Chain A
Amino acid sequence: MPEPAAQLSVSLWRGGADGRYEIYSVPRRESQTVLDVVTYVQRHIDPTLSYRFACRVGMCGSCAMTVNGHPRWTCRTHVAKVADGGRLQIGPLDNLPIIKDLAADMAPFFEKWQQAKGVFAPSQTRAEPMARIRPDSAPRIAADAAIECINCGVCYAACDTVRWNSGYLGPAALNRAWTLVNDERDSGNGARLAAVAASGGCHSCHSHQSCQEHCPLTLNPTASIAGLKRRSAAAYLKGELKA
């Protein structure tokens, strides 16, 4: 195996939407992550570099960026896996407005969670006994398969349909809606199915599966969206849904 280069050539997006890539030289280190590279630039070369991170261990979902053309969680992406000949190009997530440098504005992403009714609607009060949900029940298994989303926005940035149709809710919001559709304790499915069955909802998905391909937690939002398509189409045919 060839020895890794002693220095990485790192091209970082600087500025807002009208910004440009600038090249920095960063020492190559063992077990180095892409987030380590960005942090090195900020701490040793240019303290004005803006980027976002929090946990550094793949839990918070705040450090996602575009790395050599693909959206990735940078804290868990090793340089050895993605550096192309010792070169890295790192930009903000696609399909979102740029605040500055590597920080994308996540507001549209979370606004679509709200539009998709991604908020739990309780069917009981705290005074009632705790709901008993069997872990091996079909709805719980379906919800469990999609529940581990960390809201990193990688799927949203990877999605062709989001790129082409700004009104599309996107894989993360629809995946979240699918977990709640399968939550037996939730009482908001009427409004939720109407929201995801409207224009820009689950039926706009082309099933390209870029979300599944890029999800750092190997979730499958395309399967969740397919579930929503089936569930909302059945509700519409039964006359339970106006669309």
Chain B
Amino acid sequence: MSVRLYLWQRATAALMVPFGLIHIAVIFYATRQQMTAADILSRTHGSAAWASFYGVFVAAVSIHASIGVRNILTEWSALADRAVGWCAILLGIVLALLGFHAVISLVLM
């Protein structure tokens, strides 16, 4: 792992800690309030704050996970360096697409 990937992975990890805690707190709040999916969507619909929060969270997760999987493939697979890089990029794109699709569903649909 180069210093560039190392710093991206550490920076996204640092970001994910508070975001993850907030995400878990929201889950606890929603379940304790016995909110339905419709209740939740009525609060998140059109919210720039929730779109920003989960948008940044998805970006951080996509970057962090793809770098991590890149390291695992480097150490545990017989793939060449270039192939490992492309696999990691592909995983990052898939995670970002799935995540942003969920964020759009949360605030726009």
Residues of B within 8 A of A167 (CB): 81
| A243 B3 Cβ-Cβ under 8 A | yes
Q: How many residues of A contact B (CB 8 A)?
A: 17
A62 within 8 A of B: no
Q: A197-B2, A243-B2 are in contact. Are A236 and B75 (CB under 8 A)?
A: no
Min CB distance B109 to A, Å, is 40
Distance from A202 Cβ to chain B, minimum over Cβ atoms (Å):
8
B76 A236 Cβ-Cβ under 8 A: no
Please tell me which stretch of B4-12, B54-62, B99-107 contacts chain A, meaning at least 4 of its Cβ atoms lie within 8 angstroms of it. B4-12
Q: Mark B62-94, 1 if CB is under 8 A from A, else 0.
A: 000000000100111000010000000000000
Instruction: Give A164 to B75 CA distance when docked, in angstroms.
Output: 5
With A233-B7, A236-B7, A237-B7 in contact, is A201–B2 under 8 Å at CB? yes
The one of A164, A165, A203 that contacts B3, using a Cβ cutoff of 8 Å: A203
**Are A233 and B3 in contact, with the CB atoms below 8 A?**
yes
Query: Hey, which chain A residues are within 8 Å of B71, CB to CB?
Result: 204
Within 8 Å of chain B (Cβ to Cβ): is A229? yes
In the bound complex, residues from chain A placing their C-beta under 8 Å from that of B37 are none
Question: Taking the complex as formed, is B17 at the interface, i.e. its CB lies under 8 A from any CB of chain A?
Answer: no
Complex CA distance for A224 and B1, rounded to whole angstroms: 17
Determine if B1 and A229 form an interchain contact, defined as CB atoms under 8 angstroms apart: no
B3–A161 CB distance below 8 A:
no
A-B contact pairs, 19 of them (CB 8 A): A161-B75, A164-B75, A167-B81, A197-B2, A197-B3, A198-B2, A198-B3, A199-B81, A203-B1, A203-B2, A203-B3, A204-B1, A233-B3, A233-B6, A233-B7, A236-B3, A237-B7, A241-B3, A243-B4
Interface residues of B (CB under 8 A from A): 1-7, 71, 74-76, 81
List the 10 closest A-B pairs by CB distance, nearest first. A164-B75, A197-B3, A203-B6, A203-B1, A243-B3, A236-B3, A243-B2, A199-B2, A243-B4, A165-B75
4 further interface pairs, Cβ-Cβ under 8 Å (given A164-B76, A236-B3, A243-B2): A161-B75, A198-B2, A199-B81, A204-B1
